[in-house]
Amino acid sequence: MSGDEAVWVQQAIGGGEIKHPPTLASVTDERALGRSGFTLASDAFRHGGELDPCFTAIEEDAVAPPLEWTAPPPGAQELVLVAEDVDTGHVHWTVWGLPPQKGKLLEGEVPPRTGKNSHGNSEWLQPDPPLGEEHRYVFQLFALDLPLTLMPGATHEELVRNIAGHVTAAAVLTARFEGHEVEELDMEDLGDDD
């Protein structure tokens, strides 16, 4: 990433050093960002805000957070979502086959088509940074000028190859999360009601 590229990508994700550039940096440029008012939001966190532990490895039954977006520019054929940790480069979620219109994914909803995350499975990879380390998770939504023909389970690399040069608009939403200790429930702490 050149200096100019680094600045707009940094601004898009909310500042700070980027150790591992997100997909955004390799498939489009600054002109696509927020084109025609295209935005991505969540009821669960604000841009740059903290991710609730219920979406992370802290919780046993953690699911992906809810997301919603505005309508993409006219001519979009499909929407693609990529979630990545820009501090490790881990891919947490790849989703495609989303209709090119205003829409949302509910908390824990199974999307139409998903690809492999960094652990090699096709589900939400729960954030699990080391204890005391804060990582940034960047959700990127791309409007494409063609429908994808990728099979479910495709890799992030295959997805990037297929969308590069076809992004007409992009929207970004960043969440932060710091590694916590998982608290074990101590039966003695529950007390005795007898």
Domain spans in the chain, listed from the N-terminal domain onward: 3-180
- Work out the burial of residue 159: count CB atoms within 10 Å of its CB; fewer than 13 is exposed, 13-18 middle, 19 or more buried: buried
Does the pTM of the predicted model rise above 0.85? Answer: yes
Q: What is the pLDDT of residues 59-100, one digit of tens each?
A: 888 999 999 999 999 999 999 999 999 999 999 999 999 999
| Structure token pair of residue 189 | 């702490």
Superfamily of domain 3-180: PEBP-like (3.90.280.10)
Report the run of H or E that residue 68 belongs to, with start and end: strand 67-69
Q: Rounded CA gap, 125 and 32, in Å?
A: 27
Angle at 193 between CA 188 and CA 194, to 5 degrees: 115
